[in-house]
């Protein structure tokens, strides 16, 4: 990926100044943003001044399932809590929800559900999943009132939230990327990274404007990255495939094909032999790219789907057949965009180091010297010992424009974040510095469990395995 980064950056004339030495982030009080957002139970103002009165709720104004809670659940929970969704149970009807009312109210009050990691106060985002204080108060008051059902006649569907992007159609995408057979990961490994090669049989240039990822076996699929390999990279791709029996090949980080970027022709921003199309990790959402932009695919290209499988005792011998659906723009209507990676791969976080240890922080910088890009969004990424990650644009005078700040990194809830409006970093000798700051927590109590046993801390360095760490962010950019 280093390779990819350097080539992209050179081609885009961005001077790369990846800051190799871990350093203390200027305001590393990473948790300060969280506490202030949390609604303590005693702070909750219920929308009623009447004490809880069970069945009388409908008339006294206590929140009821039908009038107040179900509309919110339909709008903000059922995207995951539906039959076949990624959550363990559907929150469909009163009979199911009633016995869980206390659990639901607590998880909502503590902002565990719905999962939403960025803090308020940075660049406004689309598809925000967090609830407002008022909505949280409704859940809490409903539970406190005995979780009354109320009257079905009071149910009104809520409109989509403002700044919600339109959903993908339920019909399959224009290109379906799926290996021909279920895949059994290499059982000698804990982590198997496999690259599957699919020929989309494109006869013309097309732009990908929407992506849906359907993990085949969510218990072993750890993340998925999708790449385009263009004609210039096909020989290398073939060598990779031939070096290993069976469909596809073992690959780390990317498809092991050089990006070789050049200035674009025919109105293309850039020409390259390999690029990332999409990334998905648990929590990732399906949807459209920011309006008017897309990732450009060329005729003759192959699509490489890299799936990272993480196997533990309970998931041995499980197979997977993950599917990705790509939605294409009608030709000629789209502005070409790119996922530009930024990383710091040169850190060592000592075993046992707390987040306050300066060696537990790594920073990556780009100085934007030439290119008038628009940044539509970011995809920050760390592994399991991540503590927090922040992406910002720092002006020449030192002012920080926060793009996204995740004060409590949770490996299970990562995704790309798109802005309501693109950020245009200042260009030139005094241009903005784009900066990603990563902080780890390598104390014994923050180690993952493997087969039920919490592992001992060890020094953390950059690596592809889930026992290694990353400080990586992708900027989704266009001109
Ligand atoms: C983005 C997907 C997603 C959304 C949106 C979501 N949940 Fe969840 N929820 C999950 C997953 C997955 C779990 C399983 C535990 C985990 O992985 O954290 C879960 C677990 C829960 C649990 C705990 C179940 C248990 O047995 O411990 C409750 C309660 C819950 N969710 C309620 C809600 C409510 C209420 C909403 C809406 C206000 C909501 N969730 C929105 C994905 C989601």
CA distances from 311 to 180, 316, 416 (A): 22, 6, 25
Looking at the chain, the whole-number percentage of residues with pLDDT higher than 70 is 86
CA of 235 to the centre of ligand 1 (A): 45
Residue with tokens 């241009």: 431
Q: Decide: 99 in ligand 1 pocket, CB within 6 A.
A: no
Decide: 422 and 375 in contact? Cβ < 8 Å.
yes
User: What average pLDDT does the structure give for the chain?
Assistant: 84
Q: Which two tokens stand for residue 380?
A: 């920050």
Looking at the chain, the whole-number percentage of residues with pLDDT higher than 90 is 57
What phi and psi values does residue 265 have, to the nearest 5 degrees? -125, 170
CA of 81 to the centre of ligand 1 (A): 7
Among 39, 81, 108, residue to substitute to test ligand 1 (most atoms within 8 Å of Cβ): 81
Q: Decide: 108 in ligand 1 pocket, CB within 6 A.
A: yes
* C-alpha angle 295-301-306 in degrees, rounded to nearest 5: 75
CA of 110 to the centre of ligand 1 (A): 12
Please tell me the predicted confidence (pLDDT) of residue 60. 56
If we measure between CA atoms, which residue out of 450, 468, 451, 472 comes closest to residue 459? Answer: 468
Q: Torsion-angle region of residue 35: left (phi > 0), alpha (psi -120 to 50) or beta? A: alpha
CA distance 419 to 336: 17
Please tell me the predicted confidence (pLDDT) of residue 368. 75
Q: Decide: 381 in ligand 1 pocket, CB within 6 A.
A: no
Please tell me the predicted confidence (pLDDT) of residue 7. 39
How many other C-beta atoms lie within 10 A of the C-beta of residue 158?
11
Please tell me the predicted confidence (pLDDT) of residue 41. 32
CA distance 113 to 134: 15
Provide the b/e sequence for 261-297 (b: ≥16 CB within 10 Å): beeeeeeebbbbbbbbbbbbbbbbbbbbbbeebbbbb
When mean pLDDT is compared across 85-89, 136-140, 356-360, the lowest value belongs to: 85-89
CA distance 221 to 284: 13
For residue 111, the number of C-alpha atoms closer than 13 Å in the C-beta half-sphere is 18
- Residues 317-359 have pLDDT tens digits of 999 999 999 999 976 678 889 998 899 999 999 999 999 999 9
Confidence at 40, pLDDT banded by 50, 70, 90: very low
Q: Decide: 88 in ligand 1 pocket, CB within 6 A.
A: yes
- Residues 371-402 have pLDDT tens digits of 788 999 999 999 889 999 999 999 999 999 99
Q: Is the peptide bond before 114 cis (omega within 30 degrees of 0)?
A: yes
CA distances from 17 to 5, 366, 369, 435 (A): 12, 5, 11, 10
- How many residues are present in the chain? 479
Ligand 1, atom 12, lies closest to the CA of 87
Please tell me the predicted confidence (pLDDT) of residue 162. 82
Please tell me the predicted confidence (pLDDT) of residue 84. 67
Residue 282 CA: nearest ligand 1 atom is 12
If we measure between CA atoms, which residue out of 113, 94, 121 comes closest to residue 37? Answer: 121
Among 63, 75, 83, 107, residue to substitute to test ligand 1 (most atoms within 8 Å of Cβ): 107
If we measure between CA atoms, which residue out of 127, 284, 293, 277 comes closest to residue 209? Answer: 293
Residue 76: which residues within 8 A CB-CB, separation 6 or more?
A: 114, 129, 131, 135, 161
Please tell me the predicted confidence (pLDDT) of residue 283. 66
Provide the b/e sequence for 360-384 (b: ≥16 CB within 10 Å): bbbbbbbbbeeeebbbbbbbbbbbb
Provide the b/e sequence for 45-67 (b: ≥16 CB within 10 Å): ebebeeebeeeebbebbbbbbbb
CA distance 453 to 27: 34
Decide: 283 and 412 in contact? Cβ < 8 Å.
yes
Confidence at 23, pLDDT banded by 50, 70, 90: very low
CA distance 270 to 354: 42
Of residues 51 and 104, more confidently modeled: 104
Q: Decide: 77 in ligand 1 pocket, CB within 6 A.
A: yes
CA of 88 to the centre of ligand 1 (A): 8
When mean pLDDT is compared across 219-228, 240-249, 297-306, the lowest value belongs to: 219-228
Of residues 265 and 118, more confidently modeled: 118
Ligand 1, atom 28, lies closest to the CA of 104
Q: Decide: 79 in ligand 1 pocket, CB within 6 A.
A: yes
Decide: 53 and 135 in contact? Cβ < 8 Å.
no
């Amino acid at each position: 990926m280093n390779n990819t980064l350097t080539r992209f950056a050179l081609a885009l004339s961005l001077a790369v100044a990846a800051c190799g030495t871990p350093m203390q982030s200027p305001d590393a009080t990473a948790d300060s943003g969280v506490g202030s957002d949390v609604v303590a139970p005693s702070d909750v103002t219920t929308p009623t001044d009447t004490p809880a009165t069970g069945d009388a709720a409908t008339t006294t104004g206590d929140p009821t399932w039908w009038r107040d809670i179900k509309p919110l659940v339909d709008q903000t929970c059922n995207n995951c809590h539906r039959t076949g969704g990624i959550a363990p149970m559907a929150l469909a009807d009163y009979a199911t929800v009633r016995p869980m009312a206390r659990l639901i109210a607590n998880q909502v009050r503590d902002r565990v559900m719905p999962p939403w990691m960025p803090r308020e106060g940075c660049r406004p985002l689309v598809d925000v999943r967090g609830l407002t204080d008022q909505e949280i108060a409704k859940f809490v008051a409903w539970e406190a009132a005995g979780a009354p059902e109320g009257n079905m006649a009071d149910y009104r569907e809520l409109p989509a939230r403002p700044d919600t992007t339109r959903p993908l159609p339920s019909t399959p995408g224009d290109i379906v990327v799926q290996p021909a057979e279920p895949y059994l990961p290499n059982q000698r490994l804990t982590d198997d990274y496999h690259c599957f090669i699919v020929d989309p049989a494109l006869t013309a240039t097309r732009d990908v404007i929407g992506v849906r990822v359907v993990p085949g076996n969510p218990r072993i699929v750890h993340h998925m990255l999708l790449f385009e390999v263009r004609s210039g990279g096909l020989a290398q791709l073939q060598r990779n495939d031939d070096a290993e029996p069976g469909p596809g090949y073992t690959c780390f980080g990317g498809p092991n094909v050089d990006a070789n970027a050049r200035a674009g022709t025919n109105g293309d921003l850039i020409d390259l032999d390999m690029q990332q199309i999409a990334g998905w990790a648990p929590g990732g959402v399906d949807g459209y790219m920011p309006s008017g932009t897309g990732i450009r695919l060329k005729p003759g290209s192959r699509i490489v789907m890299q799936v990272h499988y993480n196997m533990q005792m309970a998931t041995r011998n499980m197979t997977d057949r993950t599917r990705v659906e790509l939605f294409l723009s009608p030709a000629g209507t789209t502005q070409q965009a790119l996922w530009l990676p930024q990383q710091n791969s040169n850190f060592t976080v000592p075993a046992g180091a707390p987040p306050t240890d300066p060696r537990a922080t790594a920073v990556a910088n780009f100085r934007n010297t030439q290119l008038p890009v628009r940044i539509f969004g970011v995809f920050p990424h760390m592994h399991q010992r991540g503590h927090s990650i922040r992406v910002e644009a720092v002006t020449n005078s030192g002012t920080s424009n926060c793009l996204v700040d995740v004060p409590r990194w949770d490996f299970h809830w990562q995704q790309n974040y798109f802005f309501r409006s693109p950020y245009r970093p200042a260009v030139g000798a005094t241009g903005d510095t784009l900066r990603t700051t990563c902080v780890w927590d390598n104390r014994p109590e923050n180690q993952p469990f493997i087969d039920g046993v919490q592992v001992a801390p060890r020094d953390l360095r950059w690596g592809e395995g889930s026992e290694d760490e990353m400080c990586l962010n992708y900027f989704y950019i266009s001109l």
